[in-house]
Amino acid sequence: MKEESYSFDWSDIGDINLGRPNLGEETKVSVYRMMQYSMRGVLAKEFGSERASKLIYDSGYIAGLNFCKTQLDTKLELNQFLAQLQKRVKEYKIGIVRVEKIELESLEMTLTVEEDLDCSGLNVTNERVCDYDEGFIAGILEFYTNLKFSVKEVDCWSSGGRVCRFKINVEE
Amino acid sequence: MREKELIAYLNSEIINVLQFKHFTPLTKEEATYIDEVEGAELRELLKSVQNTLLYLSEAKEFVLSLSNGNLEVEPPIFNPLISPLKQLHSNLRHLVWQIGQVAKGDYSQNLDFLGEFSLHFNRLVQSLKEREEIEQELKRSEGMYKLLAENISDVIWIYNLDRDCFTYVSPSVVFLTGFTDIEAMGQTFKESVSADSYEQIGEWSIEAIDTLSKFPNQKIVYTNQVQQLCKDGRYIWIEAVVEFRLTEVGEVEILGVSRNIEKRKEIENKLKKQTLELTKLNENKNRFLQILAHDLRNPFTVLLGFSELLLSNFREFNPEEIEEQLTILNQTAKGTYTLLNDLLLWSRSQSGNLPFDPQKRDVIALCKDVVADKSNKFSHKEISILCEKNGLEELILPVDTNMIKTILRNLLSNAIKFSHRGDEVLLTVERGEKFITVTIKDNGVGISPQNQKLLWDYSKPLITKGTEGEEGSGLGLLLCKEFVEAHGGKIWVESEPNRGAAFKFTLPLNREQIVDK
């Protein structure tokens, strides 16, 4: 069992090649979603759906910090950094990140994620479910800029958007 | 609003939609009447129709904005009719951002949607990227070239022969000639090089133009030394490597690189001088060996032959015959001694071991001493030596006594040697403004013009026997020339065959002229 003070670190993922010489790195999206939505269900039941969303956001945020720390070059300038982010996110098959808008001075951005790992293909329920993505993006941008970001999903596959659109602002 | 009216309105609006006509959903207030309709199934149907009209209305507005090119429009959040359009809208907005990035020079953008358009877009970005890389390479290359052109000591230039002007001169020209590149570009070839060099370049040009007219792609390169004009009016030696070629518009131009070779020239001249000196030394060595091998062998043959004859026949010869043999032996020994003496002096003078030590001496007295000495030694030929001083009782000059005596002895010996028995030899001394002239004149056999030219050629000295078969080494006159020139004077001969010869030499009156020489 992990200690109560445990916080995720990239090294906790372990040596997958060593551990899975035959099956390798890849798994099915359904396996990922099975874990995420079963966990979401348990959390919602335990803490209510709002609190569950917040916990999932926080998980995504910690993952984003670690992803940026270990997988991205933070010395690049913003545009190059975003290009690198697009490339890495696609390589990890998380989704296809696209930039709709960036205000360089205010760091106000609109990003979209197509073929999102969390929600693409879900039934349309008029809900936005990409809490993990919100936290993930916020964590990445915070590690890169050392600023706190507010990331809000304004459109989602679940709300009939076919893309997930995120509005991003620096927190006051 | 009554039920029938609601149904009729919604029906007519649906028909309008199907007939591409304008349609308007119920307002929020009007829609509340649906709740009053009796029958749950009918109510649900009317609500669905109203919602469909609302979705259609939203979708129409959104699509109209998109079709007008307004990508800033925000899509309705929940509208099942426009889900795919929202994806397109998002992609188009991303495309706009990507184009903006490309415009800023971010060529890492890559499009992975919109089918064939993405192929062209990516190709376009790749071309821009390659162009930028080429431009950067060009810039770097230009920077390198500029660095080279401005810092190397060689000068790179281009001259257009058709327009008769320089089209480029590298800034390093200022280090070569003192002219700035702008000043140098204002000159023509004729103005920038010496007349001889210009003539040479002209010859190259004629040849090159002729070749280029037949073979336009031929590489025509010349390398030669040219005299280039400097800003201070001097001409300096440069080595020019030039290539003639045709410009894109068919004009003939010369691409050249010029390098200062003044120092090289200086070294070449030193080498030439050293080569000459070495040649002279080699000739001297050959002459020395020749004398040792031949000239000294002859007198010893005589000495050995006559001494053996005398020894073998000593008891049979009467005193007169013995005296005759001994006289021959004595004269041969004297001649050999003179030859050895000359050879030793000449050898020392050639190797720089004969010190030149001018002291103020009375030249008239020196002449008298030598004449007196020679008169005694050559009395057997009954030749009288006269000394004409031209009223000069004393003539003090800075001279090296030994050298002057050697000159006088040699010239008097020659005069006596080539005079007939009983002739006169005249030694005269004349004083000029800056020089004195000493002349030793005889009335002997004289010297032909051809032989006069050979007198001073130390590579092949002229050896001629005297009127009574006297031998000589040919070194005497060469020694005279060396010694006269060491004093800053000149020596020459005036003669005609059978009309005697006058050997003349000058000596400067003051020491400065010796030093100058």
Q: Which of B98-107, B121-130, B460-469 has the lowest mean pLDDT?
A: B460-469
Q: Give the model's pLDDT for residue B517.
A: 36
Candidate from B78, B98, B106 with C-beta closest to A160: B78
What is the CATH architecture assignment of A3-170?
2-Layer Sandwich (3.30)
Q: Measuring CA to CA, which residue among A79, A122, A85 is closest to residue B106?
A: A79
For residue B288, count CB atoms less than 10 angstroms from its CB and return exposed for 0-12, middle for 13-18, buried for 19 or more.
middle
Q: What is the mean pLDDT of chain A?
A: 91
Q: Is A83 on the interface with B (CB under 8 A)?
A: yes
Question: Domain limits of chain A?
Answer: 3-170
Are B90 and A114 within 8 A, CB to CB?
Answer: yes
Candidate from B80, B86, B90 with C-beta closest to A98: B90
Q: Give the model's pLDDT for residue A134.
A: 96
Q: Is A125 on the interface with B (CB under 8 A)?
A: no
Whole-number Å distance between alpha carbons of A43 and A58: 13
What part of A 1-60 touches B (C-beta under 8 Å)?
A: none
Distance of CA B286 to the CA centre of its chain: 37
Task: Inform me whether the pLDDT recorded for B375 exceeds 70.
Answer: no
Per-residue model confidence as pLDDT tens digits over B75-124? 888 888 888 888 888 888 999 998 988 888 888 888 888 788 888 999 99
* Of B113 and B263, more confident: B263
CA distance B61 to chain A (A): 17
CA distance B87 to chain A (A): 6
B83 to chain A: which residues are within 8 Å by CB?
Answer: 124, 160-162
Task: Inform me whether the pLDDT recorded for B184 exceeds 90.
Answer: yes
Q: Is A110 on the interface with B (CB under 8 A)?
A: yes
Q: Is A101 on the interface with B (CB under 8 A)?
A: yes
Q: Give the model's pLDDT for residue A81.
A: 92
Per-residue model confidence as pLDDT tens digits over B383-429? 888 888 777 788 888 898 888 988 998 898 888 888 888 888 999 99
Q: Give the model's pLDDT for residue B514.
A: 46
Three-state DSSP class for residue B403:
helix
Helix spans in B27-115 (H) = 28-31, 40-67, 83-103
- Confidence bin at B183 (pLDDT 50/70/90): very high
Candidate from A80, A96, A126 with C-beta closest to B78: A126
Task: Inform me whether the pLDDT recorded for A15 exceeds 50.
Answer: yes
Q: Which of B116-120, B150-154, B494-498 has the lowest mean pLDDT?
A: B150-154
Task: Inform me whether the pLDDT recorded for B454 exceeds 90.
Answer: no
Q: What is the mean pLDDT of chain B?
A: 85
Q: Give the model's pLDDT for residue B315.
A: 84
Are A160 and B83 within 8 A, CB to CB?
Answer: yes
CB-based contacts of A92: which residues, under 8 Å, 6+ apart?
A: none
* Of B514 and A42, more confident: A42
B79 to chain A: which residues are within 8 Å by CB?
Answer: 160
Q: What is the mean pLDDT of residues B274-298?
A: 74
Q: Give the model's pLDDT for residue B288.
A: 66
Q: What is the mean pLDDT of residues B427-439?
A: 91
A88 to chain B: which residues are within 8 Å by CB?
Answer: none
Q: What is the mean pLDDT of residues B282-309?
A: 74
Q: What is the mean pLDDT of residues B59-73?
A: 89
Sign (positive or negative) of CA dihedral B12, B18, B21, B25: positive
Candidate from B78, B93, B106 with C-beta closest to A159: B78
A98 to chain B: which residues are within 8 Å by CB?
Answer: 90-91, 94
Q: Which of A154-163, B77-86, B132-141, B347-356 has the lowest mean pLDDT?
A: B347-356
For the CA atoms of A102, A108, A114, A115, the dihedral, rounded to the nearest 10 degrees, stands at 140
Question: For residue B193, what is the DSSP state?
Answer: B
Q: What is the mean pLDDT of residues B253-258?
A: 92
Whole-number Å distance between alpha carbons of B258 and B263: 14
Count other C-beta atoms under 10 Å from residue B91's C-beta.
20
Q: Give the model's pLDDT for residue B358.
A: 87
Instruction: Tell whether pTM > 0.90.
Output: no
Q: Is A124 on the interface with B (CB under 8 A)?
A: yes
Q: Give the model's pLDDT for residue A144.
A: 96
